Amino acid sequence: MILSRTSQYAVQALIYMATQPSATPVLNKDIAAQLGVPAPYLAKILQSLAKGSLLFSFRGRLGGFCLREGGNKITLMQILLLTEGPAFTQSCLLGLKKCSDETACPLHFRWVPVKKKIIDLLQDTTLEKLAKAVETGKYRLADVPGQLFDQIKA
């Protein structure tokens, strides 16, 4: 597993929000139902994303969470730096604390180019691109129960 569950929920939630009309706040409850994830846990994650200034939060009636202006341009990297921590990009495969070009683990020079591919992907992929992909209907954001909920609701 390359991402923590927290990160997976964060990315899923933000993509979902990017597919919704940006004028009105989205309810944590609704996001959780759509994704099929525990609502209180998701709330905590959304709060930390708000603290990291990726989105706004509004309390009270008609409250909810909103992507900040230009939120469509948020990249996966920005999200993961918040949810996985700032050391996310500097990982050594063997877990060495100090592993750089100067003092390297035996895997270092094999790993670096692959890691670059990953980082490029994360920096190049914006919520906008992912939201558009979802809106075509060809891609799924969560496992089945989300659609099931839609059918019950309709």
Residues 6+ apart with CB under 8 A from 141: 12, 15, 16, 34, 35, 134
* Pick from 8, 22, 10: nearest CA to 52: 10
Q: Exactly one of 59, 61, 97, 153 binds its own copies (CB under 8 A); which one?
A: 97
Nearer to its own copies, 20 or 57 (CB): 20
Does 81 interact with its own copies (rule: CB under 8 A)? no
CB 46 within 8 A of CB 13: yes
Phi, psi of 96 (to 5 degrees): -70, 140
Nearer to DNA, 41 or 139 (CB): 41
Does 151 interact with its own copies (rule: CB under 8 A)? no
Question: Amino acid identity of 55?
Answer: L
58 binds, among DNA, its own copies, none (CB under 5 to 8 A by kind): DNA
Phi, psi of 137 (to 5 degrees): 85, 0
68 binds, among its own copies, DNA, none (CB under 5 to 8 A by kind): none
**Residues at the site binding its own copies, with contacts judged by CB under 8 A:** 1-3, 5, 8, 11-12, 15, 91, 93-99, 103-108, 110-111, 113-114, 117-118, 121, 125, 130, 133-134, 138-143
